A and B are shown apart, each in its own frame.
Chain A
Amino acid sequence: MKISKKSSAGSLESSDLMVYLEPMDTIKVEAVSSVSTSQHQKEIEALVKKELKKAGISGAYVKVQDNGALNLTIKARLKTAISRGIE
C-alpha cells in the first residue's frame, strides 16, 4: 500500500507532533525535534519506519515535526495521518 494523497495529523503543541505524509514510491522519513537531540531524532525516524512497515505502507514521504511527544503519541498521529492519506 502506498500513500495516495498529501495528509497530516497532530499539532505543534508541547508533547505533540505534526506528521506530514506525501505520496512516494519508496519510504523516506525525516524528523526534527524542538526539544531533543539529533540522536533522538534518529530514534523517531526508526520508530516511524517500523510503524509504516507494520501498517503495510511501502510508499510514503514522511516529515515529522516533534515537540516532545511520547512514542505512543507519535504512533497515534502517524496512524491518523496514514488513514487520511490513503483513499
Chain B
Amino acid sequence: MKNKLGVKLPDHIDGIGKILPYKGPFARVRGLKKEGLTTTGVKMRASLPGKKKVFKDLKKVIELSGLKDGGTISFHHHLRNGDFLLMNVMKVIDEMGFKDLTLFPSSLTSAHQGIVDYVRKGVVKKIYTSGLRGELGKFISKGNMEIPVVIRSHGGRARAIKSGDVKIDVAFIGAPSSDREGNLNGVRGPSACGSLGYAMVDAEYADCVVAVTDHLVDYPNTPISIPQYQVDYIVLTDKLGNPDKIGSGSTRLTTNPVDHIIAEKAAKLIFNSGYFGNGMTFQTGAGGASLAVAKYVADIMEAKGVVGSYAIGGISSYIVDIYKRGLFKKMFDVQSFDKGVVSSLLNNEDHLEISADFYANPFNSGAIINNLDVVVLAAYEIDTDFNVNVLVDSHGYAQGASGGHSDTSAAAKLTVIVAPSFRARIPTLVDRVNTIITPGETVDILVTERGIAVNPKRKDLLENFKGKGLNIIDICDLKKKVDKITLKPRMVEFGDKICGLIEYRDGTIIDTIDQVIE
C-alpha cells in the first residue's frame, strides 16, 4: 500500500505488527471517537506501610522488577550527552543474560553509542526512539537490525504509551534527586538537569518504575515532579552522569552571520504574519538560527510594547532571559536545554514543568501546543512540497531526532522553518526529502538567506506579506537559485530494506528509513 504522501509501505512487519498508513495530520484525530480506544491498565501494585524501597544493588532491583526476555525497558534523555544510566543498566542487564529486549528511551544521544554491541549480542532486539546519533545511527541505516527501528515524536511517544501501543515493563528513571520513598525531581543535586517531562509519562504507565539517583535527600523531596506512589524502587549510584555534558551553563546565541540573516528575516515575517501581538504564544528550537529568531522577535516585542502569553518547548536560558525582560508571562518546560534553566525552574513560579503528554500528545483532551501561535523549527532538508527531514543526514544516515518537530508544526497556527539554503555544498532545498518527519501540509513558511517561500495553501499569509519589503519567492524558483550554486550533487541512493519506520504523532506511518547502499 501507499500512504497519503506516496510512501510505499507493507501491510504488516514482523515484530512490529499491522502498519497504519498516514492519511493526513488530523485524519486519525478526527476519527478517534469511532475507534473507541481506551487506555490500557497498568499493573496494580500494592505496598505495605514501611516498605523498603532503597537499594544499592541495581542487579537485585532488576531481579525484583520482574523483567523477562523480550520485555520493554524505558529511559529518558534529560541527561543528554552526559547520561551514564542507560549504558550502566544495559551492562548489568547483559551480565544477567537477558535477550530480545525492546529499548524504549525518549531519545538517544552521543552517550549511547555502545548500544550497537548489545544489538549484536542479541540483548536488544528492537529500538523505539526519537533520535539516533553517531555510530548507532550508521549501524541502523546500514541495515544491521532485523526489525526496523521506530522513530516517534515526543507527543507521539506519549500517545504510544498511553494508548498501550507500547507497554513498558520496567522504566528506569535517572533521578537527579530523590527521597527514600521516591519523590523525584530534576532541579537538585550534582546531576540536576531541569525538567523531567519525558520521564513523567513512563512513571505513570510502566508496570515497574525504578528510580536511580546519585542524590538521596531527606524526606520529603520537593518539588515533586514524579510522585512516590508511582515509584517502586530507588537505586543509589555514584554518578548519574557527567555534569559537563548534561548541559553547559547557558545557551549562547549563534555567532554565524548566516544564521542571523535568516533569523532577522524570520522575525520580520512573524511580525507581519497576523499572529504577532499581546498574548501570543511562541516556541523555538535551541540552536542556530531558530534560537536567534527568539532574539529578534523579543527585540520587536520590546520595541512595540508587546507581552506574550507563554513560551513553550525545550526551554533554554536564553528564553528565560526573554521572560525576565517581561516579554512572556509563563514558560512551559518539557525539557531544559542548559544548566542555567535549572534554578529558574526551581525558583520561579511562572516556569512550569510539564509532561510530554501535556506538551504534545494528540490523543488527549488538549495538549498545550494546541494553543501555540508560532513555532520556529530547523531542517536538514525541506522539499518543494514543504516536507521536512530532521533525521537523515547528507550521507543517508539517521543522525538526528524527530523531537517535537511534527507535533508543534501540526498544532501551531504558524510554522516557520529556518535553514540555510545549502550547507557547504549540500542543498537543503530538494525535490523530495530523504525521509519525511514533518509533512509539508503542516509547514507554512521556509526562510533561507536567499529568499522566503510561503506554502501556497496559505493565501492569507501571502496577502499579509504584500508590500512589506519581504523577498518572497516561489519555492521552486528558490530551489532553482540554489541549484545554480550547488549544481545538485548526486544524493544518496537507497536500497529496498526498511531500516526504520517514521511514526507520525497519531501512530500512522509517514515514511521509512531506508538502507544506505555503500
Contacts and interface: CB of A to CB of B under 8 A. Distances in A.
**In the complex they form, do A and B come into direct contact, defined as C-beta atoms under 8 angstroms apart?**
yes
Interface residues of A, number: 15
A35 interface: yes
Interface stretch (A23-31, A36-44, A57-65, A78-86): A36-44
A43 B426 CA distance: 14
B396 interface: yes
B487 A36 contact: no
A25 B287 CA distance: 50
Contact of A40 (B423, B485, B490): B490
Contacts, number: 45
Residue of B394, B489, B491 contacting most chain A CB atoms (<10 Å): B489
Interface in B482-518: 485-487, 489-493, 518
Contacts of A9: none
A67 interface: yes
Interface string B305-325: 000000000000000000000
A37 B425 contact: no
A37 B394 contact: yes
B424 interface: yes
Contacts of B425: 15, 35-36, 68-71
B395 interface: yes
Contact of A39 (B485, B486, B487, B490): B490
A69 B489 CA distance: 11
Given A35-B394, A36-B394, A38-B518, A69 B424 contact: yes
A83 B426 CA distance: 29
A35 B396 contact: no
| Number of chain B interface residues as a range | 10 to 19
Contact of A37 (B423, B485, B491): B491
Given A37-B490, A38-B518, A15 B394 contact: no
A70 B485 contact: yes
A14 interface: yes
Interface string B404-446: 0000000000000000000111100000000000000000000
The DSSP consensus for interface residues of chain A is loop
Interface in B370-417: 394-396
Contacts of B485: 70
A38 B397 CA distance: 13
Contacts of A69: 424-425
A14 to B, nearest CB: 5
A71 B486 CA distance: 8
Contacts of B394: 35-37
A43 to B, nearest CB: 6
B486 A70 contact: yes
Contacts of B424: 14-15, 35, 67-69
Contacts of A39: 490-493
A37 B489 CA distance: 9
Interface of A: 14-15, 35-40, 42-43, 67-71
Interface of B: 394-396, 423-426, 485-487, 489-493, 518
19 contacts: A15-B425, A35-B425, A35-B426, A36-B395, A36-B425, A37-B394, A37-B490, A37-B493, A38-B518, A39-B490, A42-B490, A43-B490, A68-B424, A68-B425, A69-B425, A70-B425, A70-B485, A70-B487, A71-B487
Given A37-B492, A67-B424, A68-B425, 15 more contacts: A35-B423, A36-B395, A36-B425, A37-B394, A37-B491, A39-B490, A40-B491, A42-B490, A43-B489, A43-B490, A68-B423, A70-B485, A70-B486, A70-B487, A71-B487
**Which 9 A-B residue pairings sit nearest by Cβ, starting from the closest?**
A68-B424, A39-B490, A40-B489, A15-B424, A68-B425, A37-B492, A40-B490, A70-B425, A14-B424
